[in-house]
Structure 1
Amino acid sequence: MIIITGGAGFIGSCLQAALRARGEETVVVDWLGTGDKWRNVARHAPDRLVAPEALDAFLDTRPDVSAVLHMGAISETTARDGDLVWRTNVDLSARLWQWCAREGARFIYASSAATYGGADRPEPFSDDPARLEALRPLNLYGWSKHVFDRHVQGWVAGGEPAPAQWAGLKFFNVYGPNEYHKGGMISVVKVKYDEVRRGQPATLFRSNVPGLADGAQARDFIWVGDVVNVMLWLLDNPQVSGLFNCGTGVARTYLDLAHAVCDAAGLPRQVAFVDMPEALRGQYQSYTCADMTRLRAAGYTRPFTSLEDGIRRYVHDYLATDDAYL
């Protein structure tokens, strides 16, 4: 049995689909709510759905679990409730780590590229454990993920009990199907597609970094299928443990993204620039790029999907169809 926290969410439901395709018994820990989030798992329902507040009681029954894939979190980069974020992103993660260590289960969890904070110069973000202490996240969400990464680093270095396998994945900018419930945290790809389909130009933030052109802000955008492939590879290679970046290793500009969305939608390239909202100033990463050296050195060899190919697939196979769910 495999537990997926946040298994009805974006990345979690795509992972759930892949595990069910493999014939795995799965337990999803999540709320479906009153909207359409249930559609994320409609084609690949779990064997059991456990509400997050019932997770501790479920684990107390000592179910036969081979792995916990911990995707559940408060992931809004604009989150302000520090106590709630700590309880969800730090305390819960620590309890799951400790449970897996006691029960001999494997533990793979979602960290984030938000842990890296701002970039003084455009170079790939290194996941070298020796550099972890120096990171300075720009927002509460990124800080909470960084805190747990540091906890893990301390536990492992101190020789404390650890899960049979453990891996933290610093997800970069993930896009793809089943993200439609995410509100303001939905990917830029989906937002730009909706704009151009309405006949509007794709709007991008003006740069607030001296010397950086409008639209030249760059991110490491990764297709959700590639993220799932990395996690499946980890499950297939239980000897691999560590904290790893999960991006493509290539930074692409927002202007590249907007053009790729227009091209995939079969529409003229039209882009307009707007001022960055005041709430994002000082918290906005104008550059992210994953250094993938350590994951490659650990044995991961699959290629990553290019931005153009990923957007084309997202648009043609999902967004432009009658049913956009995986």
Structure 2
Amino acid sequence: MSVLVTGGAGYIGSHMVLELVDRGEDVVVIDNLSTGFRWAVDRRATLVVGDIADNALVEETIRAHGVNAIIHFAGSIVVPDSVADPLGYYLNNTVKSRGLIAAAVQTGVRNFIFSSTAAVYGNPEDNPVSESAPPAPMSPYGSSKLMTEIMLSDASRAHDFRFVALRYFNVAGADPEGRSGQSTPRATHLIKVACETALGKRPQMEVFGTDYPTPDGTCVRDYIHVSDLANAHSVALDHLRRGGVSDIFNCGYSKGYSVIEVIAAVKQVSGVDFRVLLSPRRPGDPAAIVAATAKIREKLGWQPQHDNLEQIVAQALNWERRVDALKAEAHEG
């Protein structure tokens, strides 16, 4: 029996593959390589190049590999892009997810883990925000993920099918062993952008909005190490395999850092005082959002191991120094 990871050639998906194969799981990946990389998939896993919209391919892969659980990462993730292209986001994140859920039901896959987002909360009244807070997404990205959560909930009531939706806060860092990291060109993740700027890959970076109702006027976010996030999926998978009920959990550290604080950390760790421009707000960005995480810790026993901003930054910098060489080697190979 094996685990199917959609989007397993991407940033979070490749770390999920590492987490699974390190613990002895058989893993098959479906990825269309539109934003992921073939070389990012650990060689212990099987890569199927294709789109999750291809239902015949998905069902064939599930049956051929004896898949009994699906961990679903494939999708689009840039909030401002979703505002500019809402229909594209509803297609990629919602319509395709509906097809994947249908394929799981059709082939008898009972366990499904979904990569949702803190964007479903919008701009919450209270921080840290708990899973019981009413959803109020501010962007098509958040709405597209919330719609998939609703479909999963409905499907679980109608079929022999259970799910866990994990609402990610801001994912950052890289595999501590240097095997994977954030590699997407033109990435918008703050720590990735700041590290690229510190290493001279960008001449400068922008801070979007300095007039938010926060201590220094910039957005406040909860940053979670990508390996801790991958581990959260592992404990969710164990929960479902034990017969646990469908549920939704936040994934963060219950502490927030402003954009200015994160940039200061990157400058300190890198030793580089790079150029930062102050720009207007972007559409769809809430002022502050921090995770309440008591639920996942108590119900699933999740215990993060990398809750340290300086460590997250240092590993992101180390990865950024290596990634161009890895891409070149893969191209030559």
**Distance in 2 separating the partners of 1:293 and 1:36:** 32
1:106 aligns with 2:111: yes
* 1:209-224 equivalent positions in 2, closer than 5 A: 209-210=212-213, 212-215=215-218, 217-224=219-226
Give the CA deviation at 1:308.
Answer: 1.7
Alignment match, 1:207 = 210
Q: Is the 8 A contact 2:213 2:287 kept in 1?
A: no
Match of 2:159 among 133, 158, 161: 161
Q: Which amino acid aligns with 2:211?
A: N
1:180 aligns with 2:183: yes
* 1:234-245 equivalent positions in 2, closer than 5 A: 234-237=236-239, 238=241, 239-240=243-244, 241-245=246-250
Give the CA deviation at 1:191.
Answer: 0.7
Tell me: CA distance 1:321–1:94, structure 2 relative to 1, closer, same or farther (3 Å): closer
Q: Which amino acid aligns with 1:188?
A: L
SS at match of 1:66: strand
For structure 1, which runs of at least 5 residues remain unmatched after alignment? Answer: none
Alignment match, 1:170 = 167
Q: Which amino acid aligns with 1:173?
A: N
Give the CA deviation at 1:66.
Answer: 1.5
**Distance in 2 separating the partners of 1:36 and 1:244:** 26
TM-score, reference length from structure 2: 0.82
Alignment match, 1:191 = 193
Give the CA deviation at 1:193.
Answer: 1.5
1:5 aligns with 2:2: no
Tell me: CA distance 1:211–1:225, structure 2 relative to 1, closer, same or farther (3 Å): closer
**Distance in 2 separating the partners of 1:290 and 1:99:** 32
SS at match of 1:274: strand
Alignment match, 1:125 = 129
**Distance in 2 separating the partners of 1:72 and 1:112:** 13
Give the CA deviation at 1:57.
Answer: 1.1
1:90 aligns with 2:91: no
Give the CA deviation at 1:197.
Answer: 2.6
Q: Which amino acid aligns with 1:204?
A: V
**Distance in 2 separating the partners of 1:9 and 1:83:** 22
Q: Please list the CA deviations of residues 205-242 of structure 1 after superposition, one character each: whole Å capped at 9, or x if unmatched.
A: 34233575334x21011110111111112223323431
For structure 2, which runs of at least 5 residues remain unmatched after alignment? Answer: 175-180, 328-333
**Distance in 2 separating the partners of 1:144 and 1:54:** 16
Alignment match, 2:301 = 300
Q: Is the 8 A contact 1:97 1:162 kept in 2?
A: no
TM-score, reference length from structure 1: 0.84
Q: Please list the CA deviations of residues 148-205 of structure 1 after superposition, one character each: whole Å capped at 9, or x if unmatched.
A: 222333444xx31142x411011111113432225243x2111111222339676423
Q: Is the 8 A contact 1:249 1:289 kept in 2?
A: yes
